[in-house]
Structure formats: C-alpha cells, structure tokens
Amino acid sequence: MRRILLVLSLLAAWLAGAVPALADEGMWTFDNFPSAAVAKAYGVTIDPLWLDHVRLSAVRLTSGCSAGVVSGQGLVMTNHHCVVDCAQSLSTPAEDRVKGGFLTASRTEERQCPGLQAEILVDIFDVTRRVTPPDQAPGGRQRARDDAWAKAESDGCPDRIHYRCQIIAFYGGGQYALYRYRIYDDVRLVFAPEFATAFFGGDPDNFNFPRYDLDVAFLRLYEDGQPAVTPEHLTWNPTPPKVGAPVFVAGNPGGTERLLTVAQLETQRDLALPVAQLQRSELRGRMLQYMQESAEQKRLTEAPLFNVENSFKVYSGRQFTLSDPAFMEIKRREETDLRRRVANDSQLRATIGDPWTKIEAAQKAYGELYLPYRQLEAGAGSLSELFTDARTLVRAAAERTKPPGERLAEFSDARLPLIGKTLLDDHPIDARLEELYLGFWLSKTREALTNDDPDVQAMLGRQSPEALAALLVKGSKLADPAVRRALWEGGQTAILASEDPMIRFVLATDARARDIRKTWEQRVSAPSDTGAERVAAARFAVYGQKAYPDAGFSLRLSYGAVSGWTERGRAQAPFTRISGLYERATGADPYALAPRWLAAKDQLNGDTVLNLTTTNDIIGGNSGSPLIDAKGQVVGVVFDGNIHSLGGDYGYDPALNRAISVSTAAITEALDKVYGRRELLAELTGK
C-alpha cells in the first residue's frame, strides 16, 4: 500500500505538465549539471571549480561502490558494507575481522584488499561521432562500433598502469563519452567497525528508517608501496547540516531503468523479476540454514548472505512497484503522450519511426530465451567463484587470440588488466559454500529447463546436481592463485591441456553458453538497444536537453536537501541520534551492541546525529558516496535508501524517496570515544 502514495504524487506531477525531471530528481553527469535549477531552488552557486573539485575527490570502487577522498594522504571514506568482502578475505577462523572489525593501531597494519581497485574520473571527452558508425558500415554496424569502441578506449589511455579508459553510453546510446580514470590498484583497508555496529538492525532494518548504523569504513590509496598523495580531497565537516539545507551526492549509481518502455517493464514484472526473486529466496534459505551448522560456517556466510539479502529486498521493492497497476498506468500514459507527439510531427516521425513496436517485438524473444539465457549464461554458476574463475580463464584464453573488435566485450584490451587483477589476487575460497552455490545453480537449471532439455542432459550427464557440484569443487585446484596464474599466463595451450574438472566442465559447456548469449544479443539486446536510442532521441526532441541519462555505474551528482517525509499522515524526522541506538538495542542479534559500544556509552554525546535522510536521487552503487554540503565539504556518507527509494529504478518520487547517510558527526564521535583513533581524526580534520 505504500506505493499508492508514490503513485499519487507521480500522477500529480504528470498531470502538472509531464516534465521528465521532478524537483531534486536526477543523477546528473558532471558536464551537464543543472546549476541554474539548483541556484533557483536552494540559492547556492555550484560553479565549474566546485564541480571539478568534487569530481576529483570522488572515487569509484570496482567492488561496485562509491567513495570519497578525505585527506591529502590517500585516505578514502566509504561504507562498511563496501569493504565487508575485503574484511572477510583478511579474516581467519582465529581472527574474525568482520565480526570484530578491522581496527588497526598504525599505518603499518593497513592491509591490501584483494581484487579491489579505486578509480578517479580525471577527464571526460565526448566521442559520440567517433564511436557511432554509419548505418551502412562495411562488415556491419555492430562490428564497426565494437572496433571503434576498442580503439577509442585504447587510444585514450596509452598508460595502462595508471589510467583506465571507458566508453560510457548515455540515453540508451544517443550520446557517448570517453571517461578517463586515474586508477589505484593497491587499496588497503584502514578501518572498519564491527559488523554489529555497521549493520545494526541487520536485514530487518535494512531499507527502513529510523536507522542506527555506523556503516562507514576507511581505505587508503597506495602508490609504489606508499600512501598516495591526493591534494584534491574533501574537507571534513563534523557539523551535521540543518533540516532543509542543500546537500549533494557524488557517486556512481549502479543502474536505473527509467527509460524502459511499457512492454519492457511488463517483461520485468511478469518474468524476469519473479524468476530471479524466487531463486534468490531459495538461495537465501539455503545460506541461512547453512550458517546455523557451526560458528565457522556463520563467519564465512555472513558477508555473502548480506549481499543476497540486500539484493532480495532491492528487487522486492522493484517487483511491488511494477505490480502496482496505478504505477504502470502512469508509465503507459507517459509513453502514449510521447508516441502521440512523435506521430503528430512529420519530421520527428520520419527520424524516429516506431521503436516502441520493435522493442515490444523483442519481448517475445526475451520470453522465449530468458530461462536458458539466465541459467546457462547470465547467471551461470550462481555465486561460485571457482566457476567464475574457470569461465574467465577459458574465455580469456580464447578471446586473447582474437583481434580486439571480434572479442566478447568484457575482454577488450582496456578491460583485461582489471579482469586479471580480480582473477589473480589471493582471496580465500570456501569449498563447502562453493558446493552449495554450484549445487543450487545446477538444480535450478534443471528445474527451469526441465530434465529432458538437451543442455541439462549435457551438463549433468548421469549425475545429480549435488554430486556433480561436489565432484567439480573437490577436484578443482583453482582456489590456489598460483594455479590460476599459470592458466592465465599459459593461455589457450594451458587451458586445453588442463585436467582441472572445473576447467573441463566449462570447456564442455561453453559453446552452448556462448551460443545462447549470441542469440540473446541478436534477438533481444540489439533490437532493444537500437529501439532505446530512438526513444531517447524522441524524448530529447520533445522534452528538451535538460534531461539526465539512465545510470550505469559512472560518476553522477545529485542534489537535494535534508528532509524527512510524511507517510500515512505521520511525519518521519530526518535524524536519528546516538542515544536512539542504545534505546533500540535488545542484546539479541541483530540488535546487539558490540562490546566497545557498551563500554563507551557514558562517554558518548547521545545527541549526536547518527543517520540522516535527504532527498537526493540515488540507487545501488551510490553506497559509500560522500554527502557534501554547498561549500563542497563532506558531511556524511550515503549507505542506504528508504523503502520507497527501491522503486527508484523506474522513477523518482520527491515526496517519499530518501537517501540515508551516516553523519560525519557520528563518525567523529565514534573514532574519538569508541575506537580511540585520534590520529585518524587528526588526519581527517587536518589538526
């Protein structure tokens, strides 16, 4: 019923004039930020210098999070939940750094996070003309575009040690930019609080408010074994902003789908979301039960379970948004309006054509191909790292023998270094969890495609899913990074000669997986992308330039204000305070306080703002983004959205959608009085 409110306010906005961007809505690129609108709404000036400063202080983490540089010595602030995999990798049965926190005493104890890379956006170039081939390119348009992309990325970053170049497609392909990142591949963990502190309230409180989490962690960028020098960084402001004060979020929203057509939304609602959520729910149940078998299993499962439960809640929010007929009705009206305007304008009609009908036709192929595509390709292996590593090794070996333009997109020269780092860095792999993931995937594949499907027969042979999973995991040596390195460096020869059962399994099933992927790309992705380009062009033409593109884990800036919200007539205040944390604690997981917090209770100022809600338009991927005031100083770190923000994938509702941050005030108080980290505080405050 919560969605009813969203729908009413969106409906009101639609009736008011169908402007695409509502108040505070938008995940804006730094080269198209609506400074004038912000000045009008909040009376503050966001000038190019401000934008450059913030952009150069904003960090993208390859773990799928955002972060901000907060000192001149490479110190970076993000969320605890963005480094929980790292803390897990640095743990042992004897020392659980997820449960106990990563609490160093000096810089020498800072430890590298396996597979993690930090990236700072240093340049933006428009390359739309360069990478958009003519319709009649020799060898086909797709091939020509792939070539142009690979070449542009390669040319832009001759120094691949320090830089990474990435082409970003905007507006469904209406515009392309080359983003050049300064990369740091040695990122070390500096500070992480206890899991119980960072994730107080656990899954039950996740995406709810009031909330009482110190979901913060610090990392440090290293260069040549030394802390990086980072003159561009955000100044620490430990005073929380007032209600109504303008605030900004610089980060990397992972993805939105606000430009999908109604036909595409229906496919998500009726097929993709339900199938994925039902599988995720079963996996969650398996993991929850697995955890209860022993303390060690609990330790190993807690971090991956967090990811599964977090996704489950995110997609539940999406599913219920799309299942609201009133919400869909708004989308339908918007689409009807746009189509009518195109149809009534002869010039537009000639340029745009009818992409909606083409996209709708692609949905039929989506329906036919989704289950095999999901099970054999997109979701193959579930969370198994051994399977993922084996597939990366097998495919990289084959792809590296091909010219760049003919490779699978993820194996371009620009992307290979990060793939290699992710693969080769040492991280612990738990065999029993691997069996759980693989057995789950194999059994869901049989369930989805039925036992009589030839692909299922080819995968399982005469084995049960569980027995095959055990055989592959027990027989594989890929958990050893030296083995992975040998296969990575040995290329196709080493792969084909390998007797590792996981490599053999991937080799035996990969042709079919590539096959279904190719069919999917031809019959679903390509027509959908081409159609989306046209729809985006239509929106441009009809609604004008000041629109923001759908998110895709590249840097964006959102603006808004500190604000609570009103729900069913009840006002929700925007702040929680440290005293509330103690009131909410029951002593039982996930409402149990860590011992340090119990001990520090009397020293802490209970009035300190702990978490706060703001109207910024964010989504998954923004986790760890700095919350910035009008002066460009950091006042918090975004870690969540409220329950209404979950429909944000498809639309933003200014009345209800809220971002949730940890305040710098609470971080300051905790570093000082709970963790005794004066030197870290001194680095942050410059004192």
For residue 34, what are its two tokens?
């609506």
Sign of the CA dihedral 95, 101, 106, 110?
positive
Both tokens of residue 469?
Answer: 């999973």
Query: Which listed range, 279-287, 347-355, 499-507, 559-567, lies at the site for its own copies (CB under 8 A)?
Result: 279-287
* Minimum CB distance to its own copies smaller for 46 or for 283: 283
Q: How far is the CB of 451 from its own copies (least distance, A)?
A: 5
How far is residue 170's CA from residue 544's CA, in Å, rounded to a whole number?
Answer: 15
Taking phi over 0 as left and psi of -120 to 50 as alpha, with beta for the rest, 121 belongs to beta
* Residue (of 240, 109, 78, 132) closest to 621 by Cα position: 78
Which residues neighbour 668 within 8 Å (Cβ) at sequence distance 6 or greater? Answer: 236, 238, 681, 684, 685
Nearest distance, CB of residue 331 and its own copies, angstroms = 14
Q: Which string of DSSP letters, residue by residue, matches 634-666? A: EEEEEEEE-GGGGGGGT---TTT--EEEEEHHH
**Identity of the amino acid at 614:** T
- Please, what sign has the CA dihedral across residues 480, 483, 487, 489? positive
Q: Footprint of its own copies on residues 467-526 (CB under 8 A)?
A: 467
The token duo for 115 is 């597979």
Write the Ramachandran bin of 544: left for phi over 0, alpha for psi from -120 to 50, otherwise beta.
left
Structure token digits, residue 661? 């941050």
- Residue 640 binds its own copies, judged by CB under 8 A: no
- Does 286 bind its own copies (CB under 8 A)? Our answer is yes
Q: Which is nearer to its own copies, 326 or 486 (CB)?
A: 326
CB of 628 vs its own copies, minimal distance in Å: 31
290 binds its own copies (CB under 8 A): yes
Nearer to its own copies, 335 or 672 (CB): 335
- Token representation of residue 559: 């603006």
Residue 8 is a binding residue for its own copies (CB under 8 A): no
CA-to-CA distance for 433 and 443, rounded, in angstroms? 15
Angle, alpha carbons 255-642-312 (nearest 5°)? 60
Q: Within 582-611, which residues bind its own copies (CB under 8 A)? A: 586-591
Asked if residue 571 binds its own copies (CB under 8 A), the reply is no
Residue 454 binds its own copies (CB under 8 A):
no
Least spacing, CB of residue 373 vs its own copies, in Å: 14
Other Cβ atoms less than 10 A from the Cβ of 462: the count is 7
Residues 355-374, interacting with its own copies (CB under 8 A): 367-368
- Please report, as a single letter, which amino acid is at residue 349: R
Give the Cα separation of 81 and 639 in Å (integer): 8
Between residues 14 and 290, which has the closer beta carbon with respect to its own copies? 290
Phi and psi at residue 132, in whole multiples of 5°? -100, 105
Report, in Å, the least distance between residue 397 CB and its own copies: 32
The residue count for binding its own copies (CB under 8 A) is 52
CA 30 to CA 540: how far, in whole Å? Answer: 19
672 backbone dihedrals φ, ψ, rounded to 5°: -75, -55
- Cβ-contact 173, 127 below 8 angstroms: no
For residue 425, give the DSSP letter.
S
* Binding segment (CB under 8 A) for its own copies, from list 134-142, 278-286, 412-420, 659-667: 278-286
Q: What is the CA radius of gyration of the chain?
A: 25
Stretch that binds its own copies, among 81-89, 140-148, 212-220, 446-454 (CB under 8 A): 446-454
Q: Which is nearer to its own copies, 73 or 572 (CB)?
A: 572
Across the strands, what pairs with 112?
188
Considering only 35, 235, 463, 492, the residue that binds its own copies (CB under 8 A) is 463
**One residue of 45, 128, 239, 289 binding its own copies per CB under 8 A:** 289
Looking at the Cβ atoms of 423 and 438, the one nearer to its own copies is 438
Based on the shown chain and the rule CB under 8 A, indicate whether residue 99 belongs to the binding site for its own copies: no
Distance, C-alpha 126 to centroid of its chain: 24
CB-wise, 35 or 323, nearer to its own copies?
323
CB 531, min distance to its own copies, A: 20
Measured distance CA(345)–CA(126) in Å, rounded: 29
Minimum distance, C-beta of residue 326 to its own copies, in the bound complex (Å)? 11
- List the one residue from 288, 418, 419, 541 that touches its own copies (CB under 8 A): 288
Residue from 239, 464, 566, 603 touching its own copies (CB under 8 A): that is: 464
**x/- map, 303-332, its own copies, by CB under 8 A:** -------------x--xx--xxx-------
The CB-of-353 to its own copies minimum distance in angstroms stands at 25
Provide the token pair at 454: 């030839």
Q: Binding pattern to its own copies, positions 192-211, x when CB under 8 A? A: ---------x-xxx--x---
HSE, CB side, 13 Å, CA atoms: give it for residue 43: 2
Minimum distance from CB of 290 to its own copies (Å)? 5
Residue with tokens 């009206």: 333
- Of 253-272, binders to its own copies (CB under 8 A) are 266, 269-271
Q: According to the binding rule CB under 8 A, does residue 335 interact with its own copies?
A: no
Closest CA to 381 of 224, 389, 268: 389
**Using CB under 8 A as the criterion, what x/- string covers residues 399-438 for binding its own copies?**
-------------------------------------x--
Question: What is the smallest separation between the CB atom of 641 and its own copies, expressed in angstroms?
Answer: 16
State yes or no: residue 285 binds its own copies (CB under 8 A): yes
> By the criterion CB under 8 A, which residues form the site for its own copies?
1, 201, 203-205, 208, 266, 269-271, 274, 277-279, 281-290, 292-293, 316, 319-320, 323-325, 367-368, 436, 446-447, 450-452, 461-464, 466-467, 586-591
